[in-house]
A and B are shown apart, each in its own frame.
Chain A
Amino acid sequence: MRLLEKLRSAWRTLNAPSRHFSLIFLTLGGFIAGLIFWGAFNTVLEATNTEVFCTSCHEMEDNVFAELKRTIHYSNRSGVRATCPDCHVPHQWTNKIARKMEASKEVWGKVFGTINTREKFLDKRRDMAEHEWARLKANDSLECRNCHNYNAMDITRQSPRAAVIHERNLLNGNKTCIDCHKGIAYQLPDMAGVPQG
């Protein structure tokens, strides 16, 4: 009962009009506080969306990042580089926040060392890869298409083999990028039973 009384008085204080501060002070103050909060929030959000942040954990640095370094998405003739969040975090704000909330599970994994050795990582690799394949399959390989737009592809400049396959499978939407390009940036886990291509 005593607790309920306290809560009720607190609510009365909050609900009452301000006695000491002017309306303009409260409005402007709230606005500025909002700006500061939003700026800080976005800064932290972007800071966690960088290659440096991702590879600050040895789980990423020693396993997937080491493998990425040998692929065309890291080093190529034109010097365009895809960093971790370009492919693994949606670019649109709402989806980005949703993915960031999902990432809290990765924090859990980090704290409890789910993949903190190479052996644990290899054991869990198929699971983690399947999550990414499912995600990219569900959003029609959106993160690939952020850069690789089919309408901008000049298939006459692809190798004849690639042109035929792209025309037959990608043009009509039968397949999406990830159906054939699994393991484009990493080594594949044991692929037994996984349909490829």
Chain B
Amino acid sequence: MKPITVVAFIAVLVVGVLLGRSCSPQQPAAQVASVGSIAPPPRLQLKPSLDAMRRDADLLAEPVALPLARVQNTDVRRARNYPMQPPTIPHAIDGYQVDQNANRCMLCHSQSNAARFQAPPVSVTHYMDRDGQILAEISPRRYFCEQCHVVQTDAVPLVANTFVGADDILTSTPASGKKE
């Protein structure tokens, strides 16, 4: 093979790689930074992948299953991320029966029992029907607690989350481009 052929081959390879890189899609995290005053969160170390849920496994390979996540059972109340967020449940609720016959949650979280069990009572809005009438017991439309309130596990998030709460937006430095 002549040296000129080898050089030409390498040149085509380099140009191809450079072109390919400039055309590849950007990560969505970059768009959040353009919102202005919000300081972007530190970039998460996630490889670009067609399907993050597959954890970058080859299409023809079966990824090893992650260990089951454990429910956090600390009993320490968590802050809300935004106003009106349903508070998350800070304890395990394994085997809690919430159906037509019984509501295990309301054993402790009802207004009448909360003091006895030192549980945060559900707010009075949960006793109101849609006409604003306050009922003696939890309103049927609020009956199924887990529709809004959920437990949290120790699982590592599979995809990046760039959510910034309203409080953080309000208290962050003004749009000068500077970061904390």
A159 close to B (CB within 8 Å)? yes
Max chain A CB contacts within 10 Å: which of B100, B101, B117, B118?
B101
A160 close to B (CB within 8 Å)? yes
**Closest chain A CB from B51 CB (angstroms):** 33
- B101 near A164 (CB under 8 angstroms)? no
A-side contacts of B73, CB under 8 Å? 159
Q: Which of B91, B113, B118 makes the CB contact (< 8 A) with A159? A: B91
Interface string of B14-33 (1 = CB under 8 A from A): 00000000000000000000
B-side contacts of A42, CB under 8 Å? none
- A165 near B102 (CB under 8 angstroms)? no
Chain B residue with minimal CB distance to A164?
B118
Q: Which B93-136 residues have a C-beta within 8 angstroms of A? A: 94-95, 97, 99-102, 107-108, 113, 116-119
A16 close to B (CB within 8 Å)? no
- A190 near B101 (CB under 8 angstroms)? yes
- Which candidate, A81-89, A100-108, A181-189, is the interface stretch facing chain B? A181-189
**Chain A: interface secondary structure?**
loop
- B97 near A197 (CB under 8 angstroms)? no
A196 close to B (CB within 8 Å)? yes
A-side contacts of B102, CB under 8 Å? 183, 188, 190-191, 196
B62 close to A (CB within 8 Å)? no
Chain B residue with minimal CB distance to A191?
B102
Q: Which of A159, A189, A190, A197 makes the CB contact (< 8 A) with B75? A: A159
A161 close to B (CB within 8 Å)? yes
C-alpha spacing A187/B104, complex, angstroms: 11
- 18 A-B pairs with C-beta separation under 8 A: A70-B95, A72-B95, A159-B73, A159-B75, A159-B91, A160-B75, A161-B91, A161-B118, A161-B119, A165-B117, A180-B107, A183-B102, A187-B101, A188-B97, A190-B102, A191-B102, A196-B102, A196-B107
Closest 10 CB pairs of A and B: A188-B102, A191-B102, A160-B75, A190-B101, A161-B75, A197-B107, A188-B101, A159-B73, A196-B107, A188-B97
Starting from the known contacts A159-B91, A187-B99, 17 additional A-B residue pairs (CB-CB under 8 Å) come to A70-B95, A72-B95, A159-B73, A160-B75, A161-B91, A161-B118, A161-B119, A165-B117, A180-B107, A183-B102, A187-B97, A188-B102, A190-B101, A190-B102, A191-B101, A196-B102, A196-B107
